[in-house]
Amino acid sequence: MKLTIQVNEGPYQHQASDSAYFFTKAALEKGHEIFRVFFYHDGVNNGTRLTTPPQDDRNVVCRWSELAAEHALDLVICVAAAQRRGIVDDGEAERNKKDATNIAPGFRISGLGQLVEGGIQSDRLVVFGD
């Protein structure tokens, strides 16, 4: 089965990000294809490389980055939600005249059309969070 995953919550405010990560990991282990993971609303905060949890806590951002590297996942952050929350890649930094970037490895910023495409191309769109 081909799946697109939508994550609507940040990494430390809600269980949704953890649930989405473990669901995605389990689906891959069972042989399912993950077409895309789309981070929307506060979910875009899963893609900032500046998150630094305490040593005894889980590093949600690193887990997503490592899973993406291991399985060539397409981790997409919604551009409008990213702009509102200060998530910036090279292109957005240049376009908006920002002097730094903070996107985590394995993530990219793109438009809501990527979510629509995921819904069309996949057998299921699974949403985590409100």
The catalytic site residues sit at 78
End-to-end CA distance of the chain: 24
Q: Are 62 and 46 in contact (CB under 8 A)?
A: no
Candidates 3, 17, 127, 1; CA nearest to 74 is: 3
Q: What secondary structure letter does DSSP report for 6? A: E
For tokens 């399912």, the residue is 32
Measured between alpha carbons, how far is 82 from 73 in angstroms, rounded to an integer? Answer: 19
- The backbone torsions φ and ψ at residue 30, rounded to the nearest 5 degrees and listed phi first, read -85, 0
